[in-house]
Each structure stands twice: as C-alpha cells, then as structure tokens.
Homo-oligomer: A and B are copies of this chain.
Amino acid sequence: MVCCTIICMRILAMIPARMGSKRIVRKNVRYMAGQPLISYAMSLAAQSKAFDQIWVNSEEPVFGEIGKQFGIRYHARPAELANDIATNREFTYEFLKQHDCDFLVMVNSTSPVLRVQTIMHFVNFVKRDEYDTVLSVVSERAETFFKEQPLNFSLGEKRPSQALEPTQKVVWALTAWRRSTFLKLQESGECPVFGGRLSTFEIPKDEACDLDTEEDWRIAEGILLSRQRPFPQKYFESIQL
C-alpha cells in the first residue's frame, strides 16, 4: 500500500477555450497548419494518456463538439467567467469546485507545438507529489538585461553563452495545481496561482510559443510545418571547393 499515493492519484486535464479572443480573433477555431488551433491541445492531451479525465472549459458548446472526437468532456463555463475581465484563477476555481481530483493540469490551447512526450514527463513529475504547483518554463542562456542592468553577465567580459547563468521563463504551456492547496488559498483570499510548494519544469524551447500577434501565429505554424515536412539536408558546393 506504500505506493498507493502515486497509483491512485487522480489527475485531470483542463483545456481553457474562449471564443472571444481579441488580438488574434477567434483563434481557438482558426486553422493552423491544417486544423483548428484548439484541436492540437485536445489531441496532445488525449494521446498522452496521462490523465484520468480531460475537460475543455468554455462558455461555447462548439468546443464541446470538437472535443468529442478526442474523448474530451465539456465543462460549461458560466458566462460571467467568460468575459475579458474574468481571470484564469476564477474559472479554474469554479472548475475545481465541481471536479474532485488530486491535481489539475491546465493544458493551454496556445501551445500547439508541445509534444506528447513532454506532457507525459510533466505529469510524471507532478505525480512525484513533491510540489503543490508546477510551472512549465523555458530555460535560456543568453546575456540578459533587466531594468537596464546586466543580469547574468558583466560588461567587462564576454563569456561563452554556455557559461552564463540561465533565466527561466514561465510559458504557461502546462501548469499543475494541487486541488486542495488551490481551493484553500483561493478561499482564504490569497493568490493560488503560484501557491504552496512551487517547482518549475523545463520544456524544450521549440515547444513553447506565444500567440498574441499574427507574427506569433506564423512562427507556431512554421514550427508545425517544418516538423510535418522536414526539408532534405542539402549544401551549397562551389566548383572551387
């Protein structure tokens, strides 16, 4: 019975999906490299087989329809939590109150470039049960300024980038919360988003993207395309070589 905590742990996935995105209009139903954006997160979560249940959390039943083909359940988000003012924290709380689990993993629809394997590794890490909140991050070793000052390098020396202290950027591709901690903090008026024992989890940099602008959209689409149809390696050979 010792390992029961791990075996019996109940982990849900929640994919938030609004219809009314602003900067990129209706992005969740817009086609990216051949399929609606939302379908990537749905398909990845389903393929990972890492979750006891997968839910799409939306005010718009069409996302329930799309989810059906992936075996995904539909959580009808109350209209008052689907406007521009409602926060992630509020709709996550509303969801958690209704669904019992040990951990909730939020899989973001704006991360179509995630890989199934990364979801599996992430959930295995969560299952080690050492943390209450796990944030996906991308680690980078590059000279970085913060508040106009060098953060991880000195102006008097150029070091190879491998020698620099990395920064870790939270990318929100995958986020795990322990349900009990989240509920307790939210109900006591504290912020549950980074609550309890906190850990980061590094994901590969080509599995994180922003989708705020048309440029972002094209980068993500480009990453997907280049995975689908990689170019053959070819080199320029001069007659002089």
Contacts and interface: CB of A to CB of B under 8 A. Distances in A.
Given A143-B170, A171-B142, A198-B155, A231 B221 contact: yes
Interface stretch (A48-56, A75-83, A188-196): A188-196
A140 interface: yes
Interface in A204-229: 204-206, 210, 215-216, 218-219, 221-227
A22 interface: no
A168 B148 CA distance: 8
A236 B66 contact: yes
Interface in A133-164: 135, 137, 140, 142-147, 150-152, 155-158
Contacts of A221: 222, 226, 231
Interface residues of A, number: 67
A33 B167 contact: no
Contact of A140 (B169, B193, B225, B235): B169
A98 interface: no
A206 B209 CA distance: 11
Most chain B beta carbons < 10 A, residue from A33, A61, A87, A206: A206
Contact of A222 (B88, B157, B170, B219): B219
A191 B193 CA distance: 43
A235 B144 contact: no
A200 to B, nearest CB: 6
Interface in A101-146: 135, 137, 140, 142-146
B158 A88 contact: yes
A151 B170 contact: no
B143 A169 contact: yes
Contacts of A226: 218-219, 221-222, 225
20 contacts: A26-B235, A30-B234, A31-B236, A61-B240, A62-B240, A66-B238, A89-B158, A135-B143, A145-B167, A145-B169, A145-B200, A146-B151, A146-B168, A155-B191, A155-B198, A206-B219, A219-B222, A219-B226, A222-B222, A222-B226
Given A29-B237, A151-B151, A156-B194, 16 more contacts: A33-B231, A66-B238, A87-B158, A143-B170, A145-B168, A145-B200, A146-B146, A146-B165, A146-B167, A155-B194, A158-B193, A205-B215, A219-B222, A221-B222, A221-B226, A222-B226
